Amino acid sequence: MAGERNRIKTVAPESPAARAGIRPGDKLLRVNGNRIADVLDYMYFAYDEESVFELERDGEVFTAAVEKDAGQDAGLEFEEYLMDGMRSCANNCVFCFVDQMPPGMRETLYFKDDDVRLSFLTGSYLTLTNMGEREVRRVIDLKISPINVSVHTMDPDLRCLMLGNKNAGRGIEILKRFARAGIELNCQIVCCPGLNDGKELARTMRRLARLAPQVHSCSVIPVGLTKFREGLYPLKPFDRELARETVALVERFGEHCRKRHGSRIFFCSDELYLKADLPIPEDDFYEGYPQLENGVGLLRLLYTEFEEALESASGEARGTHATVATGVSAARTLTRLRDLAKAKFPNIQVEIVPVVNDFFGHTIDVAGLITGRDLIAQLRGRDLGERVYITNRMLRDGGNVFLDDVTLRDAESALGVPVTPIDNGGEELLKVFLS
């Protein structure tokens, strides 16, 4: 019998499941004779145009014939999205950001997920350390692809050290098995000075490149270090010189891969370019932006979208006085874009204000980790104009709560003006400038 997690929460009106007579409260047991353990089983076994669903209602088992287009969702939402509960991380990574947060924050911020289903469904990254043989076989048999993998190093012993898990080296073999099975892999390397940078980074890239084209892309991200590291593994941040060396190394090898495999495969995050004080590469460098969620090419895409929107913009800016609050790393880019727009629309009156991260420490300079307290403390008393704009990446829990549980309403009350979250796109930013 299926547990409560297999219980159907909603059935979309007029959906294939609704037409088949399936109701909220039913439990999904099997599809085409295959037991349904979680949402991936449901998606895979119900892919075809015709499927037989075995369900339970009020203790009675019955079947329903579901007809739909191949690949179309049958229209079911379950009491728990994954059905089987989210799997937590089994590692103790030396660079883990969760371990660098202060005590007393809400419980959900301390949960570390490492679930292959979330990798496929939501794009999260996993380490492969908590996958048993059954789970590995299921990924291969069901052809679950793409999978996003936190690699960090291809040296088994070093990986055990960096992930704080004696079994972490096994993940490298699983990665290779996935590649041999044709599973598409997007990888990431959190680069830690003194551990997996320099020659070790070069070795890792070479070994990953041997798995091309299954290794589709790989981002190289500088380790993020907060001020809450007492008792943790001693790590040091990137300085300008090391950032430049790392960018040069990755770009050289990326060019080698482009000539050999037709793709660079390896890309540095925008943060590394900013730390190196180097210009962000041009649009075609990023090959369609396969690693945007890891901050690879976000600023270039913003530039491209902004310039395209600006070229077609006409009329006059309203000239409303407003403030855009952002992280230190992005402030220079937003200022340049504002000035670019101002050359065409001279009456733009939007001020760009970088918010220093006093909460986590000044080495953390991205907008997405700005807290409500820092935003309020550094904007209070300024002439903010009619409104403050922030990136929606600052917010969690449904879009109105900062990392430190300060709400948008709290910020608006403290600052005396509306605080409006916006998307990160260039067109949206231009609308802010012209408003």
Tokens of 99: 């371990």
pLDDT-derived band at 85, boundaries 50, 70, 90 = low
Q: Residue 81: is its pLDDT beyond 80?
A: no
Residue 255 has what pLDDT?
Answer: 98
Residue 110 has what pLDDT?
Answer: 43
As a whole number of angstroms, the distance between CA 409 and CA 172 comes to 46
Residue 131 has what pLDDT?
Answer: 80
More confident residue, 118 or 188: 188
Share of the chain above pLDDT 90, in %: 67
- Of 115-119, 159-163, 340-344, the range with the lowest mean pLDDT is 115-119
As a whole number of angstroms, the distance between CA 298 and CA 281 comes to 11
Q: Of 267, 261, 269, 323, which Cα lies nearest the Cα of 299?
A: 269
Q: Of 306, 308, 363, which Cα lies nearest the Cα of 333?
A: 306
**3-class SS at 284?**
helix
In this structure, are residues 138 and 91 in contact, taking their beta carbons and an 8 Å threshold?
Answer: no
In this structure, are residues 78 and 39 in contact, taking their beta carbons and an 8 Å threshold?
Answer: yes
At 347-399, the pLDDT tens digits run 999 999 999 999 999 988 999 889 999 999 999 999 999 999 999 989 976 57
More confident residue, 50 or 82: 50
As a whole number of angstroms, the distance between CA 373 and CA 377 comes to 6
Q: Residue 203: is its pLDDT beyond 50?
A: yes
Q: Residue 56: is its pLDDT beyond 80?
A: yes
As a whole number of angstroms, the distance between CA 22 and CA 13 comes to 11
- Give all strands of the β-sheet with 60-67 in edge-to-edge order: 34-35, 27-31, 50-57, 60-67
CA distances from 232 to 119, 169, 223, 362 (A): 27, 22, 14, 18
CB atoms within 10 A of CB 43: 19
pLDDT-derived band at 206, boundaries 50, 70, 90 = very high
As a whole number of angstroms, the distance between CA 313 and CA 327 comes to 27
> Strand pairing partners for 66?
51
Q: Which amino acid is at 49?
A: E
As a whole number of angstroms, the distance between CA 205 and CA 190 comes to 13
pLDDT-derived band at 45, boundaries 50, 70, 90 = confident
pTM of the model as a whole: 0.81
Q: Residue 325: is its pLDDT beyond 60?
A: yes
As a whole number of angstroms, the distance between CA 157 and CA 59 comes to 52
- Of 3-17, 79-93, 282-296, the range with the lowest mean pLDDT is 79-93
The torsion defined by the Cα of 45, 48, 49 and 53, in degrees rounded to 10, comes to -10
| Average pLDDT of span 62-75 | 90
Tokens of 102: 């202060």
Handedness of CA 123, 129, 135, 140 (dihedral sign): positive
Q: Residue 90: is its pLDDT beyond 90?
A: no
More confident residue, 79 or 400: 400
- CATH code of the region 4-78: 2.30.42.10
| Average pLDDT of span 399-418 | 92
pLDDT-derived band at 84, boundaries 50, 70, 90 = low
pLDDT-derived band at 129, boundaries 50, 70, 90 = confident
Q: Which fold has domain 98-294?
A: pyruvate-formate lyase- activating enzyme (3.80.30)
Share of the chain above pLDDT 70, in %: 91
Residue 2 has what pLDDT?
Answer: 44
More confident residue, 119 or 103: 103
Q: What average pLDDT is seen over the chain?
A: 89
Domain regions of the chain by residue span = 4-78, 98-294, 302-434
Read off φ and ψ for residue 434, nearest 5 degrees. -85, -10
Q: Which residues neighbour 51 within 8 Å (Cβ) at sequence distance 6 or greater? A: 31, 32, 45, 65, 66, 74
